[in-house]
Amino acid sequence: MEDSRGSKKAGGGHKRITVIIGDGIGPEVIESALAVLDATGADLEIVPLEIGYKKWMRTGLAMLEEDLDTIKSTDCILFGAITTPPDPNYSSVLLRLRKELDLYANIRPFINEKLDFIIVRENTEGLYSGVEELAKDESRTVRIITRRNSKRIAEIACNLALSRRRLTIVHKSNVLKSDHLFLSTCREVAKMRGVPHEEMLVDTAAYNLVVRPERFDVLVTTNLFGDIISDVAAGIVGSLGLCASANIGDRFALFEPIHGSAPDIAGLGISNPIGAIRSAAMMMKWFGENEIAIRIEEAVKQSLNRGIMTPDLGGNCSTSEVTKAIINHLRA
Ligand code: ATP
């Protein structure tokens, strides 16, 4: 069952979460997110799982087969960030998890004092299909667009847009024939669901995101376009460190800040924990615990309004000072 934010109404009560802290700043920001969750009194059982660079150094593999069984025995994943091992044969753990667990919708809200929009990105196909032919003088990556996956991502986006203003379908069908199918499928779903919608070329969307971001509400797009315009959006709202995401399927979900492992600032105690904390709020919403999710979001807002910020936002607070401030607002 899904509500208007693409969430599963799993009901309240005890939940088991696989927590993958990962590498770089992953452990710091997830520690903050867990402290905030703890302060809400949510009934959560943490199942820690080591996946990532350190495991790869030790075993040659960033994730083992049995890790998938551990993950599947829990309700969802809260994920920090993984540093990509320097191995040409390495294939991304995150891409594997998205495919294995069929986490087909990547939902990325972008919020600051002036802006509030959501990018919904198809997460399993497009140019990230993994279908590639590599040769010395010519290489190909196959861009796969299916009606099934376009339809289900459009459904998720329409669920979100129904309780908001409008849907923007972002595509490049003037050049890419494969986008005809994506565009027409999204259009059909939006019409059927009665969702006000518009269509926009991805290059126009990128420009408009920079010059008139307030015009957007819910954007739906294919995998690579979603990946790229999300980072543009993160820059527009102020910092990658502020932004959260949910990777959602019909039965399982993975919640993660959109930033990577940021090795340049790992261990300095200055990483912005808000993306991870907001990801935890999205997780609670997916569990159907809307009140807890709203309380966390409010506490984040209040703390930001008071200028409690890490250096990426121009502040001089540490990760733990920001975390403490948010917890204090939660308890107030
Ligand atoms: P990866 O390959 O793991 O995605 P990356 O270096 O390409 O890593 P990020 O890790 O997202 O990408 O980092 C991009 C930049 O943003 C870095 O300069 C990093 O310090 C900064 N950054 C990312 N996340 C945060 C955060 N939570 N707080 C402060 N700065 C951050």
CATH superfamily of 113-237: Isopropylmalate Dehydrogenase (3.40.718.10)
Q: Probe ligand 1: pick from 32, 84, 259, max atoms within 8 Å of CB?
A: 259
Tell me, what's the pLDDT at 31? 98
CATH topology of domain 1-106+240-332: Isopropylmalate Dehydrogenase (3.40.718)
Pairing assessment for the beta strands 132-134 and 76-81 based on DSSP bridges: unpaired
For the chain, the C-alpha Rg in angstroms (whole number) is 19
Pocket test for ligand 1, best of 108, 240, 243, 272 (most atoms within 8 A of CB): 240
Q: Please give the average pLDDT of every successive group of 10 residues along the chain, which has 332 residues.
A: 44 88 97 98 96 92 94 97 86 87 96 95 93 94 97 97 96 97 98 98 98 98 97 95 97 96 97 98 97 97 96 97 97 88
How many angstroms does the Cα of residue 332 sit away from the middle of ligand 1?
Answer: 32
Cβ-in-10-Å burial (0-12, 13-18, 19+) of 18 comes to buried
Same fold, 1-106+240-332 and 113-237: yes
Q: Would you mind telling me the total number of residues written for the chain in this entry?
A: 332
**Domain boundaries in the chain?**
1-106+240-332, 113-237
- Measured from CB, residues less than 6 Å from any atom of ligand 1 are 25, 29, 81, 83-84, 240-241, 259-262, 264-265, 271-272, 275, 310, 312
At 46 the pLDDT is: 97
Atom from ligand 1 closest to the CA of residue 311: 29
24 CA distance to ligand 1 middle (Å): 9
Question: Which tens digit of pLDDT belongs to each residue from 45-100?
Answer: 999 999 999 999 999 999 999 999 999 999 999 999 999 888 877 878 888 898 89
DSSP 186-228: HHHHHHHHT--EEEEEHHHHHHHHHH-GGG-SEEEE-HHHHHH
The sheet that has 105-111: what strands, in order across it?
A: 44-48, 15-22, 76-81, 253-257, 244-248, 105-111, 116-122, 218-221, 167-171, 197-201
Q: Full-prediction pTM beyond 0.85?
A: yes
Q: Cα angle at 98 between 92 and 100, to 5 degrees? A: 95
CA 275 to ligand 1: nearest atom? 27
Say what percent of the chain tops pLDDT 70: 96
pLDDT tens for 171-183 read 999 999 999 999 9
Helix (H) or strand (E) holding 149: helix 147-162
